[in-house]
């Protein structure tokens, strides 16, 4: 597995990546990722599906723990 990016916070601490959304299919997770990024919330994908059986895993969207509540609120609000 590749390490998660170490983008720094304004206080120069490394992010603590936290799962905000999990999907069975990558396109669904990519839509959520795009919505978060469009609102200025940095996010990354973590694909936990085995390469031989891609439908047996999950794809997670992670955000920094400091932005978790903001991301959850955004995802509970209908898209315009």
% of the chain residues with pLDDT over 90 = 57
Say what the pTM is. Answer: 0.80
Location of structure tokens 């990558």: 26
Quick one: pLDDT at residue 5? 60
12: left (phi over 0), alpha (psi -120 to 50) or beta: left
C-alpha span between 29 and 58 (Å, rounded): 9
Does domain 17-76 fall into CATH 3.30.60? no
Q: How many residues does the chain have?
A: 80
- Residue 1 pLDDT > 50: no
């Amino acid at each position: 597995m590749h390490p998660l990016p170490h983008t720094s916070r304004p206080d120069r601490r490394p992010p603590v990546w936290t799962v905000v959304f999990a999907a069975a299919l990558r396109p669904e997770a990519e839509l959520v990722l795009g919505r978060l990024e469009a609102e200025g919330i940095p996010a990354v994908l973590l694909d936990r599906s085995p390469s031989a059986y891609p439908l047996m895993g999950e794809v997670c969207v992670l955000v920094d723990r400091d932005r978790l509540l903001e991301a959850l609120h955004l995802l509970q609000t209908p898209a315009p």
